[in-house]
Structure 1
């Protein structure tokens, strides 16, 4: 499918990957429909999008946990632009905490946003796309949808569920012979977004971006590429690709390494953090941002060091397994 002039709906467009994706499509001359809970942040994104090639942007404040609101989002997109060519499900929230200490209301909220929000988006998008006979649905999952980690149980569950949803939809479309409708899943590694700052947290330690950290623009470029050349799943970030591959060869080793990495580098040992709901139930104020402040030279150096360390450990573990057999 040609990217330019494609009508693109993006949930979670107020920050992080969703925001970077909206701007990436606007730069290609695409009309974009921006959805999230924060109208102020969406207006800031709209202004940035419309600076690129005169792209049009429509703001539709939307809580993705409300199926009627998501149907209204699709209706308004079609009403304004006549069709929906691409729908990107990118809304996401998370909670950090020991399993028995995370409030159940927070656990449910993560699943409601990250799973049911995608279900609502997929239903609204596919209804329009099936009528049109074409379109691309892109679901943003994560490498933790392949390699689990401690203290983010609900988030990891949701990212596994997103992959399962995408696979099931592809199978259904295959049986329906809807060959011009594509469902793609994106699995980013750690991305420089405000997700960690906005997370609910019950660990007593401040969540930080676990190196290696990649830019949200890197994910946005892969999402745009999927419109040109759809693929079932794409992993963003060399470390993510390595972990997904090695998890198939040595799952127990990678599981242990992930546990240690989270404890050492994902939760600060220097900065304590009070318990709180983060942005789960009330959206964060302000104009929002694509980045979370985890970039820069220091993070690049940490990324290289972490990549080298992780790969060395994985290679050593696989070699030990090979010798054992």
Structure 2
């Protein structure tokens, strides 16, 4: 059974990546349901802004816990704080992620490893901290924000694809490993292009900043899919009407896919602005760039 709120006990949800994009939109959606929220991201300044927004939208209570998901001890402390504060933890919405553009040979090793660490080791750290709590309670739900690029690849996105393919493999394994724990669920939501700041906050060694490929969806729309998993757990939900078509082309027509993906990616997913090499927010929070929405119009 998925976690559920009652008039006397609102849901307690921990949200990672809460300072920007899909994570911030998920906080807004959960606040509208009167949830008790634990907000996690690397920078306190943006988290305090999001906490104020959550309270305005109806959150029952909000706790701010700055932490990097790659720090296992810090993640454990956050989960312990949530349980101590609220007596239980009903769900975790895990959306923390960074991104880097560039050919594998051009992206510095440290940046490549940092992006993969956030996705893969960060997800493992969250699972190690949260799942034992769920098992003790007899219920709980981990929802991981995945990506279309967990199922396909694109040139100049090898760092992010490696991170997300690894993350989705980990999620699938977690789903198998909690089969012995009725009431404990692990779900994944895979968006395509989303109107969030991640594209221009990303590191780049591609001679350009990125932009979301069409069709572009709003962060709120993806957040609704994330929150819906609390009521209807699913192994993997593709949040984007074009995702199944792209995946089918990748799997069934690989030669055609490989011939087309490079030109299409450069046309639709790069800004073409001649950007200089940049580490973006890969190694640290950049509060000035954090927001729910990016610069594009989302469906």
TM class, shorter-chain normalised? over 0.9
Shift of residue 58, structure 1, vs aligned partner = 0.7
Report how far residue 54 of structure 1 moved.
Answer: 4.6
Query: Counterpart in 1 of 2:204?
Result: 201
Secondary structure class of the residue paired with 1:63? coil
Unaligned runs of 5+ in 2: none
Partner in structure 2 of residue 167 of structure 1? 172
Q: Aligned to 1:279, which of 278, 281, 287?
A: 281
Q: Structure 1 pair 132/210, CA: closer, same or farther in 2 (3 Å)?
A: same
Q: Is the 8 A contact 1:3 1:28 kept in 2?
A: no
Deviation at 1:41, TM superposition (A): 0.5
Question: For the structure 1 residues 236 and 255, does the alpha-carbon distance in structure 2 shift closer, same or farther, using more than 3 Å as the test?
Answer: farther
Match of 2:241 among 229, 238, 243: 238
SS of alignment partner, residue 57 of structure 1: strand
TM-score, length-scaled by structure 2: 0.94
Q: Which residue of 2 is the match for residue 289 of structure 1?
A: 291
Q: Deviations over 1:256-303 (max 9, x none)?
A: 33322211111233x11011111111210338211111116xxx6xxx
Once the two structures are overlaid, the 10-residue window that deviates more, 233-242 or 70-79, is 233-242
Aligned-pair CA distance for 1:3: 4.4
TM-score calculated relative to the size of structure 1: 0.87
Please tell me the root mean square deviation across aligned C-alpha atoms, in Å.
1.5
Structure 1's unaligned 5+ residue stretches are: 301-325
Tell me the equivalent position of 1:225.
228
Contact 1:147 1:255 in 2 (8 A): no
Q: Structure 1 residues 159 and 286 mapped into 2: Cα distance closer, same or farther (>3 Å)?
A: same
From 21, 25, 28, the equivalent of 1:20 is 25
Please give the alpha-carbon distance, in whole angstroms, between the structure 1 residues aligned to 2:101 and 2:290.
Answer: 21
> Which has a greater percent of helix?
1
Note if contact 2:197-2:289 (Cα within 8 Å) is conserved in structure 1.
no
Task: Kindly provide the CA deviation profile for residues 140-180 of structure 1, in whole angstroms up to 9, marking residues without a partner as x.
Answer: 11011111111121210111111111111111112xx2121
- The count of residues paired between Structure 1 and Structure 2 equals 294
